[in-house]
Amino acid sequence: MSGLYGDTADRAYEQAGFGAPVRRGDRPAIVVVDLTRGFTEDSYPSGADLTDVVTATTRLIEAARALGVPVIFTAIAYTEAEVAGDSVAWLRKAPGMRALLEGSEAVDIDPRLPRRSGHDLLVVKKGASAFFGTNLAATLTALGCDTVVVCGATTSGCVRATVVDAVQSGFPVLVPRECVGDRATGPADAALFDIQAKYGDVISLEDAVGYVGSPPRRSVLQGALADLADVPAVSRWVRSKDIRLHALDYGGELPPLVVLPGITSPAITMDFVARELTDLVRPVVVDVRGRGLSDDGEGYGLAEYASDTEALISGLGLDRPLLLGHSMGARIAAVVAARAAIPLRGAVLVDPPMSGPGRAPYPTSLDAFLRQLSEARRGTDADEVAASWPAWPRREQELRARWLSSCAQQAIAATHHGFEHEDFFDWWPAVPTPVAMLYGADSPVVTATGAQQAAASNPAAALHPIPGAGHMVFWDAPTTALATLRRALRTILSPARPHPRQHA
């Protein structure tokens, strides 16, 4: 307890069984309650100077951004009829809030807060609780959130009401004391005492920043490790500076093929592709940093990924390898090939994300990736994976269920950010021949327009649309995609043969 009302009160609450700590989940969301100008500026009847609260909340939001933690804002706003009439009982009790008129500056989110218009959700409410009469509970559930961090104003009113309803909706609650404010200290202190005793944990800003800004630990399940016994490959390890990288080496004397998987795909998930190529090449499938058995890293940009790939090629002594990358891996392959620091035989890029600055956003949201990661961490199975990927072969659904938890949340969030801030076309025109691009004919990632731009900006590349495939080309249409990949690899391995262009 807080000691606010003395040792006697503390003992009474403890004897009653109150004040136990809440369980913190690994998928938090921040709910910023009513930090609108009508509450954060003392020029409004309903307001007070909450500059310190706005500053502290800004710091918390910025810590959360790097890991893709959802931030949801709320605002109270009334129509002209509600303000002028008696239909809202609360306005009869608190007439100062009639200033909170729809469309007025009073209901604007405080401009000092880092709200991203068009990205951060805004819940408009009529009552004290952010849950009452709104879809907030459904939204948090849809985002896969398992803990709510409540900030805002006022501590004794809308914050406390939101905390109570959050618990009643099934969410553990944390309240950073520096991120909530009120018009007077007495009611605020009483509310925080009550929250700590019955509904949530009142914590420090430092604790909150550490919680939302520190990704949950990765885990490799025993069942996932057992999968390696069924893979006809040997684990190989190399160092890229301080990072230990793991790869599955399928062996043989044929030309090496370095395989770079996608954003949430550890090396083993490409096993079904590698097996079909061992008569043509020696596949070496990489656990990209932050995935599978490879270490986490300080950075997850294309430069770091490319340097890791070059270190792996050098460390394993791979002579003039080919590169095969899918999605994120295709972008990495493009950078490695364009940098030309390592001699290559050629490259095959499969459905590379073409999003970037000034382009349409990547079609799968970060929230969707993190929701699937959260499911994997709490324990998922192939049936649940099938709900998202119903057309996948059953073995691939099982592997994803067991291996997705090995992916670092920070790696996923940073890579997704890179999809929209690192431009694929900065590198693609400089990728030397021989090079081929495979893409799903129905892919939302490489659209018809994107394929046309790829063809125009690197005319020597061979483009191959895969009918019936979306972005997950090998999973969606394995027979056609693998046959096309084999033809592309044969062409690259036989440089005397022509490289016909095919594109939609």
DSSP E strands, 191-280: 201-203, 234-240, 243-249, 256-260
- Nearest Cα residue to 347 out of 357, 365, 335: 335
Tell me: the pLDDT tens digits for 297-334?
989 999 999 999 999 999 999 999 999 999 999 999 99
- Dihedral of CA atoms 445, 116, 145, 270 in degrees, nearest 10, equals 20
Maximum CA pair distance of the chain? 90
Peptide linkage before 357 cis (omega within 30 of 0): no
Check residue 50 and give its pLDDT.
Answer: 96
Please pick, among 145, 151, 158, 407, the residue that the annotation labels catalytic: 158
Judging by beta carbons within 10 Å of its beta carbon (0-12, 13-18, 19+), is residue 24 exposed, middle or buried? middle
CB-CB contact of 221 with 402 (8 Å): yes
* Mean pLDDT score across all residues of the chain: 92
Within 10 angstroms of residue 43's Cβ, the number of other Cβ atoms is 9
Each residue's pLDDT tens digit, 327-368:
999 999 999 999 999 999 999 999 999 988 888 899 998 888
Amino acid letter, 146: D
Concerning whether 158 is annotated as a catalytic residue, the answer is yes
Q: Is the peptide bond before 147 cis (omega within 30 degrees of 0)?
A: no
Q: Per-residue pLDDT tens for 62-88? A: 998 878 889 999 999 999 999 888 888
- Which residue shows structure tokens 């490489």? 446
pLDDT tens per residue, range 435-484: 999 999 999 999 999 999 999 999 999 999 999 999 999 999 999 999 99
For the segment 420-426, the average pLDDT, to the nearest whole number, is: 94
